[in-house]
Amino acid sequence: MASLRKLLVGGNWKSNLNVKSAKDLVNNVINKLTFNPNKVEVVIAPVSLQIQLVRDALTQRDVQIAAQNASATKYGAYTGELSPEHLVDFGLKWTILGHSERRQYYAETDEILSKKAKLAIDTGLNVIYCVGESLQQRESNQTEAVVRRQIEALGSQVSKSQWGNLVIAYEPIWAIGTGKTATAQQAQEVHAAIRGLISKNVDANVAQALRVIYGGSVTDTNSAELIAERDIDGFLVGGASLKPGFKTIVDSCNNARK
């Protein structure tokens, strides 16, 4: 039986790679990806300055490009900002919002991020929206409470119909870039809780259609086990998206029995 939800693999390049290494990654890894676009979406997020050169180098036309961030403002006198309108005008369809690095280093709160998401969707973008808890919060059994707070803040801004433009990325902060990974069971439990929260607060059909992907030291060695879980609909990949093993991660989704 086919999955109710198309799987999604996102590659968040963060502030990595120079012009040469970005081109090399596209030519040596991204252009060699093979997957069924009816089953899997692949979205890569280069540094903003490199989006055009990545687009020019792409020959794998089923791979999409995302921005790593979008502002809470439209066109206007906002020095240094990149508005959703700029992204749409540039031909992009995706942005990442809410990553823990944005929350931690740039003081982006639930309120700011939920408003960003609303504006991005209103402008025509799809949003990969990140949620997740710290190690201290997990050890204090606050995981579901933290994720609930983040999801409810988002829900206070977006309409029922706009959940179709959202992908939720559960990224336990303690597993990002640390080499530690939530077990498949731990990830599944939180994904199921997220879906249950959406079902209760928004709509059961919205919850079933919503894609909830996992991020947090996803690698080519653990992706097959993770994607086998019922409520894991793909991945947001950080460091491993810069390596040849990214192909294995995409393959694990393409070959998943979902």
Which one is catalytic: 99, 101, 133, 229?
A: 99
End-to-end CA distance of the chain: 7
**C-alpha distance from residue 97 to each of 66, 91, 108, 154, 212 (Å):** 11, 18, 10, 11, 14
Which one is catalytic: 133, 171, 191, 229?
A: 171
User: How far apart (Å, rounded) are the C-alpha atoms in residues 11 and 13?
Assistant: 6
Catalytic (active site) residue 86: no
Catalytic (active site) residue 171: yes
Alpha helices (runs of H) in 90-183, residue ranges in sequence order:
100-105, 110-123, 135-139, 143-155
User: How far apart (Å, rounded) are the C-alpha atoms in residues 238 and 90?
Assistant: 24
CA–chain centroid gap for 142, Å, is: 22
Output the CA angle 220-2-254, nearest 5 degrees: 20
Nearest to 186 by CA among 139, 149, 148: 139
Nearest to 231 by CA among 181, 195, 177: 195
Identify the three-state secondary structure at position 11: strand
- Which residues are within 8 A (CB) of 107 and not within 5 positions of it... i.e. 6 or more apart? none
| Residues forming the active site | 99, 171
